[in-house]
Structure 1
């Protein structure tokens, strides 16, 4: 084997390592296939549960109740006389609740459909479930209702892969009177426990099952309530007892409550936009993470269901940017939490370098015991620049001088990381290559092993400098120059940053531009500084960053809207003309809503408003086929392939930056920007949407009302 063949690539970033444990990458984002296509998922904050359409979690599936990266229930099955129930109808009610309408199956003494069963499920700091029975037979009947319970306390990473069998270490503390089942587990400093509390108590505890002897006459009803509180380390969590449509009881000063209550009110002539806006807001609130940093309660958003209900730096920052028109609290929380964990030293296992903003934060057993690098993991090349962009955007929208002054040291550390560690070889570009045996091969948003490739399908060698990271860096330096010149009163810093940005812009447009195929930008430079010549959606991110000269913007717009990239539902991640194109490949042909929201904003920045609207309308129309919720991604098949977008089989749903995409589309249509102490608009609303009224938009310490139809627009103070 030659030395060249052993060079690291994103598909094999540590070729000399003897073993390479599984890593958390896009390629691993699977849904629970054993639960069937009608699997039901509910979530609230850091808690989620997946079951089949009956509401059951069969042992051995990858469903269950998960909180903070630990699975607390891996079996949850309801039967009548040991027979599974028949599904009449089931589905989610709110993001955190679901209803299952069931009936008994055919039994020797009980014909099918004589007992109606309704399960009402709510998650959030545990599980609350109410089971109601009603008998419609003629003669009295007796049967045994059983709830079979199991737990494995698996780390989230083990749910999708083989993991250690903890059964010998799980301690049971079941109540003999049938009022509760208890399970506990400890491994060194890591401890977790779960209880299943029953009201009324079961008549029998049979192993790990609760059993009731039920006797019913015609028309008679019976019900029980099951509460599942959790304990993680020293923290106790108890689920709320409530009904459908009831919100969580947070105080008025709770940041997530405030964010949901204070978001702008949207009134439209067309229901579609309003329905998507409402669904996005509901989903975003359901994915909130609440923390207290130095005594200050903050809220930020997790990445997505099912496997990413945790803080991902890139996802969190982009979602905060997308949603800034709905209020500043999410952006503030993201800035503070990410700054709190900004890297201060070096660690090969976690890809840590001073000043770097983290990629992913986990809390499960494997991470706490140091077997996984996610406490936190710093393997992303773009998050640091994106954090700087968000800091600037937060300042522009709020004028919050106190926080932006407080975070100046973090901003300067981030800029030093870009110049000294992000730019690994002093060529002026931010590159990536992991140093961790469990690190990500691709450390840009296209983080699957084949997410960055040549037009002929070959995988490039590391380190790689992707194009959009350079665009983000350019934008970040100009934005920090603005802060340095103004709020921070440091003109020398401002001058230096503007000079850096000018040099980067000049060399980028020389080194990344490919004149063939009508002229376009390479997706990156490989480890030998050769252009990686695939044609990708990342060109739209370059427009968003402003690094593209005006004279080239039209060429990019034509490419992005060409049949090779635009599917009719959105812009594909990879051109159909490239060898590696696959409409169901994670980053090599799929259509991502968050990607398209950035592309649309970039097109609008350069005056291509019709093209931006075409993307936005395609996305809104796609949402009609998924209950007005945009998933993480959908397949890249052409719109002529069918009347609705073809789902991507393992998409996160909901997913934060997909839910944030409609809010950025709306901002782009309205052309909303804070400028010189006021909120201004430059509207270009599609005719299909008629008039848009967005009231009580928070900007610069005031509230504003925006009304627009076509290019006619008014902005007025709401107070």
Structure 2
């Protein structure tokens, strides 16, 4: 019997709101409409602050200060004499901080632009903001500066949707001397509080506002400091900053400190490559999450700003793979954290099955009270195979037999999940179909409602077996066979896994290959085992995994680089020839940098180095138009449509695997692989980039210097610092 469709139609206007049976649909409120196109976000670890271009968070908007999936400020508004301030310029200084240059608007007693206002903001161990006034009028003036604050303590899932009003349950205990506003909330075992501290104290408090009466003469300056401390002392939350210009010193053995300090040094003829590389490194450090597992400090990356500053299994694993050339600590952290939460039992609400690696971890009120399934949620069909791939990649780059042997039981449990629970009907493929009333319908990386569809735009029935998941499974089994031959010393297991991988490869190439349209791979099989015939970028993931026979690789490469798939800025998620194509559809026509980094690596694996370089250069050139930072996705319009990529309106920015993209592209261009006790390189560097020097690359317990130009290269052991 066919499964029942459980996803909205492609016309669903809000792909970010899950609509499942029994779950009411939320009100879609995506960034940036109510904050404006110049919305500004700063982030650090698991904390972010989003505001409009003036630095304000209007009441009722989706902006605010969010930490650990809870919004601690939902209203933050600065005015002079109750009038809004004029924006002269504003923007981020780095991932952690922003500056806003403002002026007074026209007032009855004060012409516009007489009072210059500068707001400096950063997030570290909370929100810090400095407000400075400078007066340029002739006559002395008195103004009323008001900072209005408020909080709804909304769960992150409620910020973009309609949530319940906690107002009646929020207790206010503001300091009568004007030094602080204080808000507190409790719901059963869940509690949260917000405290806005001011120095100097306000003259008085008016409702939820701090009010200063400021008297200025020409040339006079006035300033105040505002601080909103957040819950700290948690093992997973150690901020990088604690005051203006003050950095926390976690010591040289701190994983984040070590990763940032020990990443390879890049010297390139092309400033573009250097700028993108360094921006990616800074953004990745800003998204780090630190934990302590069984007393061991570990670090891994959150998925992205604003809605995904938490651990996502798929994102964290792929980002760790992309960034392995910068050091193994992040890969090690991702492996240990996911292994620590590997499922051991069945649970329908969380889509949990023994051996499965989790998809998403949340810690907001709705999750803590058991109303959401995210502590953690296991609705990802590909995460378990990706964990195995990263385990192998970590070993190849480090030779760390100890960790690989320590995690063997987890690896074998993951393999059992693939064979028994991931393969729901015994046909040899890993499928997905949620059992949860709040589960994801699509449990691959194309997880929007219409992310997997037929060429005619129809939505397939569940369960679905997507093509790239089978590729990951094939690669994972071969890699585990390598570990079985090596540190596990289990040749019988190695032989069995290689036989299973070979059978999967043969079966896959029979069932997923579609001879029409020049021959290509279906994006998946539906619940009736019919090929889902849309032409997608997932074919590039198949090249990365190695499941494609050599005689078909050229056909796949031609499709990926065709006008229907390659926009000029990158490979689209869906061919323009398919009915569902939409250049601003989340997974149906946009260009995703992380997707393209995997495609480029896959093309290079099969010898299509020129095509891989076209993608690499397109990505680098696209970053030039966004401050050398690649966003989560951008629109799939053809490059001839405009002089720069058209932004995707609600893209995460920064996002971890987008920031990891330049690192994997660099590795692909240099052809870096650890082999037989040394680091090898097989470069194919685009002429536009000239000479690339990547020094102090960590591999196999030592450092290596790589100097490359075109196809020429030298690799030598680096001198010890």
> Counterpart of 1:94 in 2: which secondary structure?
coil
Partner of 2:156: 156
Partner of 2:373: 373
CA contact (8 A) 1:535 1:578 kept: yes
Partner of 2:23: 20
Aligned equivalents of 2:254, 2:134: Cα separation in 1: 40
Partner of 1:7: 4
CA contact (8 A) 1:229 1:237 kept: no
Write the mapping of 1:304-703 to structure 2, written as runs, cut at 5 A: 304-703=304-703
Matched, 1:75 2:75: yes
CA contact (8 A) 2:41 2:50 kept: yes
CA RMSD in angstroms, aligned pairs only: 1.9
Q: Deviations over 1:469-501 (max 9, x none)?
A: 000000000000000111000011101100100
CA apart distance, 1:690 = 0.2
CA apart distance, 1:250 = 2.9
CA contact (8 A) 1:67 1:125 kept: no
Aligned equivalents of 1:281, 1:511: Cα separation in 2: 41
Partner of 1:169: 169
CA contact (8 A) 2:125 2:242 kept: no
Gaps of 5+ in 1: none
CA contact (8 A) 1:685 1:710 kept: yes
> Counterpart of 2:93 in 1: which secondary structure?
strand
Partner of 2:298: 298
CA contact (8 A) 1:191 1:233 kept: no
> Counterpart of 1:492 in 2: which secondary structure?
helix
Aligned equivalents of 2:411, 2:361: Cα separation in 1: 20
> Counterpart of 1:34 in 2: which secondary structure?
coil
Matched, 1:710 2:672: no
CA contact (8 A) 1:29 1:650 kept: no
CA contact (8 A) 1:48 1:124 kept: no
CA apart distance, 1:12 = 8.2
Aligned equivalents of 2:59, 2:419: Cα separation in 1: 51
CA contact (8 A) 1:284 1:301 kept: yes
CA apart distance, 1:253 = 1.5
CA contact (8 A) 2:9 2:459 kept: no
Q: Deviations over 1:366-405 (max 9, x none)?
A: 0000000000000010000000000000000011111111
Partner of 2:15: none
CA contact (8 A) 2:360 2:374 kept: yes
CA apart distance, 1:243 = 3.1
Partner of 1:62: 62
Aligned equivalents of 2:596, 2:161: Cα separation in 1: 32
CA apart distance, 1:252 = 1.8
Question: Which range is displaced more, 386-395 or 397-406?
Answer: 397-406
> Counterpart of 2:231 in 1: which secondary structure?
strand
Q: TM-score, normalised by structure 2?
A: 0.96
Aligned equivalents of 2:709, 2:402: Cα separation in 1: 37
CA contact (8 A) 2:76 2:149 kept: yes
CA contact (8 A) 2:238 2:290 kept: no
Q: Deviations over 1:137-169 (max 9, x none)?
A: 111111111100101100000111111111111
CA contact (8 A) 1:230 1:237 kept: no
CA contact (8 A) 2:20 2:438 kept: no
Residues 467 and 579 from structure 1, CA distance in 2 versus in 1: closer, same or farther, beyond 3 angstroms? same
Aligned equivalents of 1:586, 1:220: Cα separation in 2: 51
> Counterpart of 1:556 in 2: which secondary structure?
helix
Partner of 2:44: 44
CA apart distance, 1:7 = 1.5
Residues 16 and 396 from structure 1, CA distance in 2 versus in 1: closer, same or farther, beyond 3 angstroms? closer
Aligned equivalents of 2:133, 2:9: Cα separation in 1: 55
Partner of 1:243: 244
CA apart distance, 1:637 = 0.5
CA contact (8 A) 2:153 2:185 kept: yes
> Counterpart of 1:260 in 2: which secondary structure?
helix
CA apart distance, 1:234 = 8.0
CA contact (8 A) 2:240 2:247 kept: no
> Counterpart of 2:495 in 1: which secondary structure?
helix
CA apart distance, 1:207 = 1.0
Partner of 1:261: 261
Aligned equivalents of 1:638, 1:122: Cα separation in 2: 37
Aligned equivalents of 2:19, 2:67: Cα separation in 1: 36
Aligned equivalents of 1:86, 1:466: Cα separation in 2: 51
Q: Deviations over 1:101-125 (max 9, x none)?
A: 1111111111111111111001123
Residues 241 and 233 from structure 1, CA distance in 2 versus in 1: closer, same or farther, beyond 3 angstroms? closer
> Counterpart of 2:660 in 1: which secondary structure?
helix
Aligned equivalents of 1:626, 1:381: Cα separation in 2: 33
Q: TM-score, normalised by structure 1?
A: 0.97
Matched, 1:215 2:215: yes
CA contact (8 A) 2:29 2:160 kept: no
Aligned equivalents of 2:242, 2:455: Cα separation in 1: 55
Q: Deviations over 1:543-587 (max 9, x none)?
A: 000000011100001110000100000000011111111111111
CA apart distance, 1:11 = 3.2
Aligned equivalents of 1:577, 1:427: Cα separation in 2: 31
> Counterpart of 1:110 in 2: which secondary structure?
coil
Residues 234 and 194 from structure 1, CA distance in 2 versus in 1: closer, same or farther, beyond 3 angstroms? farther
CA contact (8 A) 1:29 1:652 kept: no
Aligned equivalents of 1:228, 1:340: Cα separation in 2: 33
CA contact (8 A) 2:302 2:656 kept: yes
CA apart distance, 1:8 = 2.6
Partner of 1:128: 128
